[in-house]
Amino acid sequence: MSSFFPENYTPTMNQIQTERAIKYIKDTFERELSAGLKLSRVTSPLFVPRGSGINDDLNGVERPVRFQIGNLDNMEMEIVQSLAKWKRLALANMGLKPNSGLYTDMNAIRPDDEIDAIHSLYVDQWDWELVMSEKDRNIEFLKKIVKKIYSSLKRTEFLVSEMFPTCYPTLPDRITFIYSEDAQKEYPHLTPQQREKVLAEKFGAIFLIGIGSPLADGISQGGRAPDYDDWSTPSDPEHTGLNGDIIVWDTVRGDSLELSSMGIRVDIETLLRQLEIRKCPERAELYWHRRLLNGELPQTIGGGIGQSRLCMLLLQKAHIGEVQSSVWPQEVLNEAKRLNIPIML
């Protein structure tokens, strides 16, 4: 019996074949995503100044990796945890108009992330951001963008199956939209993670709307920082939030797999409200927040799409270490060696 891999799991590709397939997936999905959303590729930073408010605080407790630059009077920098806020600065500086945007390869280190079959300390994702009009600040526009992203995922899945016949398609034709409030009402006895698993298995692919605000039981569906996604604006009388997660059913692991976190971004009113909710109004004095409050940043929608997780899904891999080089617990390495499963180091 294996403690870290599904029973009777055997990879369908060796390591060289896997590397070829990873490049094909990344090249293909980038092309599909950029065409579907009219995104231009840009270069992004690996680190940003500490105290600028540009770095992503995630749930507010994760520690970014910090270092000093000796030749700049020991200026303190932070390795990015994501580029959620940096992208709006880039769009403002580029002067892009509504319905155009950017995407970039984001490489981050999250030292406090758990390490398991789908998490590692190294995060690689496509970070994207699209300028939108104020009139599009609604749930229907959010759903429209989700459908475009899902279409890019489906087209990539088909092309991968054509190029690599051992990789069979598993995604349903359509993605199902579900509010986190409704999921909690239907499954009040389950934890948020358990609800995601039940719903992903039932529908194959879901967009779970409303991540960040507490639900009826006082527990939120997931964590969100207060200063990028809008998770507190009522979208209708019974539902809150203009953000969500794309979650699919992973047939190899027999579990849910979150591929993307995304949403309509905070405006001035939402930023101030969410800073108060999270009891950190002092963040309004930071550089990034001042620029937003001064009306210098465009209205945007954006998110991140996991590169290694997408490769896991489309190549039917059981562990993220099969498609990504990082640091893994020795027990995982021992188990993989015994089962003859290549893990990237």
Tell me the catalytic residues.
56, 110, 125, 245, 258, 261
For each of the domains in the chain, give its residue range(s) and CATH number, in order of start: 15-339 (3.30.930.10)
Q: pTM, whole model, 2 decimals?
A: 0.94
pLDDT at 64: 87
Q: Can you read off the two tokens belonging to residue 80?
A: 């990015």
**Phi/psi-derived region of residue 162, left when phi > 0, alpha when psi is between -120 and 50, beta in every other case:** alpha
- What b/e sequence results for 289-311 when a residue is b if at least 16 CB atoms lie within 10 Å of its CB, and e otherwise? bebbeeeebbbbbbbbbbbbbbb
Contacts of 9 (CB under 8 A, 6+ apart): 2, 252, 318, 339, 341
The owner of tokens 């779970």 is 208
pLDDT at 249: 98
* CA angle in degrees (0–180, nearest 5) for 31-23-253: 100
From first to last of its 345 residues, what are the pLDDT tens digits of the chain? 557 899 889 999 999 999 999 999 999 999 999 999 999 999 999 999 998 888 877 766 678 889 999 999 999 999 988 898 999 999 999 999 999 999 999 998 888 888 899 999 999 999 999 999 999 999 999 999 999 999 999 999 999 999 999 999 999 999 999 999 999 999 999 999 999 999 999 999 999 999 999 999 999 998 888 999 999 999 888 899 999 999 999 999 999 999 999 999 999 999 999 999 999 999 999 999 999 999 999 999 999 999 999 999 999 999 999 999 999 999 999 999 999 999 998
Closest CA to 298 of 47, 99, 56: 99
pLDDT of res. 277:
93
Identify whether the C-beta of residue 261 lies closer than 8 Å to the C-beta of residue 149. no
The answer to whether the beta carbons of residues 249 and 296 sit under 8 Å apart is no
